[in-house]
Amino acid sequence: MHFDHTYAQKLSDMVSQVRISPLLEPELALYNEQLAEDIELKNEFSQADTLFAALFTPDGCLNQQGVAQKYGGHQFGGWNPDLGDGRGVLLAEAVTEKQQSWDLHLKGAGKTPYSRFGDGRAVLRSTIREYLASEALHNLGIPTSRALCLISSKEIVYREQPETGAMLIRACQSHIRFGHFEYFYQSKQLDKLDKLFNYTLQQHYPSLLDHQNPHYSLLEQIVLSTADLIAKWQAFGFCHGVMNTDNMSIHGITFDFGPYAFLDTFDPDYICNHSDHNGRYAFDQQPGVALWNLNALAHAFTPYLSIEQIKQALTQYEPRLQSQYAELMGQKFGFKKVHNDDMRLVNQWLELVAQDKRDYTQSFRLLCDDNLNSRKLADHFIDRDKAQQWYQSYLTRLADESLPKNERLVTMKAANPKFILRNYLAQNAIDAAEKGSFEECKRLLNVLAKPFDEQPEFERYAQTPPDWGQSMEISCSS
């Protein structure tokens, strides 16, 4: 395996070198063998002693060039220049035989120059939530960073209450955020901004260098990939919770997991972050916030593009989002090709599910039932008449489809998961881990690895939350 660190080497004046602070009695609790295989790590860190030597010894291959990155960000709409890797270390880049590069980033590494008043640690609760969520999204086909491994410990860290310290190594194409470009533009360090753009194009988007205007093509690519991501969040009912610009990736991937949630009862106004008092990041606000964030990023392109060019790139967001969302929803309803008036039928369904406070995932999965009929669908709702009226309209629309029913249902089940990462399931796994057992984490990961399969032996994981799990409050604190 070849390790590189081009970010630390080519942008050395934009990072701070950091040594990792080991945890007390660390243990390798979870290891993602599939991810290790995907990025050609070949399980070389699947043994605790090998991994800890690489991380915690002065000459370890993952502790030699570790750096903390500097960036800023708009947090809940307000500009904050005092951000950076406050508890993270960019360890290295794993380079595959095909010369594909994957950032390896350690979360919970200890104090860095950007920790401010924090301890630089992560807690077991948040690392488990990130590990579970990134795998859940990946298996749903939603672009995301992924967790390579989770390291537990006996170390106590303090948040609202004493908690167990932990570390997580995650992998993705890069850890470059909207906030990187924003910071060097807002602070008028245009020489560093130029270096960052050149590095990004050369390292991550080399195909754009041959374009007539590489900077325009880069902004366009970020706009389109962000639209694709948000369309998938909305279709699968995922709430990120903290869409600050420092949590937005230039690669259009889900990034920096905090108080996220998959929808249980469908409420378009659902707020998963109890610190979000004004609902800025509510579920139905996510598409608009993403465009707001793209506008904030676009300011950093002004030294290279005209206002007209920037507007031209940004105006591609909404039509791309709408077309991708329509296509995804069409798949969920079994439409081979989306017709002009199909979204009216889709919106009527969503209004019905919201009105009667039905479960989002279960309601869509019901449409894939081999034995579904008008009465069975009506039984799922309170407003039976409205449900039956909608179902008749749906049957009329399905009559236009050429696929036989059994084939259509197969394709629908591949678009409507039976299993999602509900917050109460994550909490059950966290509770067990805090008592010393990671078996529930592993079991849940196995279920989430096949979200579209029936898995009758794990039927309980598809159930709606118990009373205690329906009003869980998740905060940014981790």
CA distance 400 to 391: 15
Report the interhelical angle of 286-298 vs 214-236 (nearest 10°).
170
Burial (CB count <10 Å: 0-12, 13-18, 19+), residue 4: middle
Q: Which one of 246, 264, 276, 359 is the catalytic residue?
A: 246
CA distance 208 to 118: 39
Q: Which two tokens stand for residue 193?
A: 């901004």
First to last CA, the chain: 33
Burial (CB count <10 Å: 0-12, 13-18, 19+), residue 455: middle
Q: Which residues contact 216 (CB under 8 A, 6 or more apart)?
A: 304, 305, 309, 312, 313
CA distance 389 to 340: 20
Asked whether the beta carbons of 132 and 98 are under 8 A apart, the reply is no
Helix (H, G, I), strand (E, B) or coil at 71: strand
CA distance 272 to 241: 6
CA distance 33 to 120: 27
Asked whether the beta carbons of 252 and 180 are under 8 A apart, the reply is no
Query: Whats the size of the chain, residue-wise?
Result: 478
CA distance 231 to 228: 5
One-letter amino acid at 308 equals E
CA distance 204 to 10: 13
Q: How crowded is residue 380: how many other Cβ atoms within 10 Å of its Cβ?
A: 18
Q: Which two tokens stand for residue 5?
A: 């660190």
Residue written as token pair 């964030």: 293
CA distance 221 to 313: 9
**E-only strand ranges, 85-216:** 88-95, 101-107, 122-123, 146-152, 156-158, 162-172
CA distance 473 to 124: 17
Asked whether the beta carbons of 361 and 393 are under 8 A apart, the reply is no
In the residue annotation, 228 being an active-site residue is answered as no
HSE-up of residue 191 (Cα within 13 Å, Cβ side): 2
Helix (H, G, I), strand (E, B) or coil at 164: strand
Q: Which residues are catalytic?
A: 246
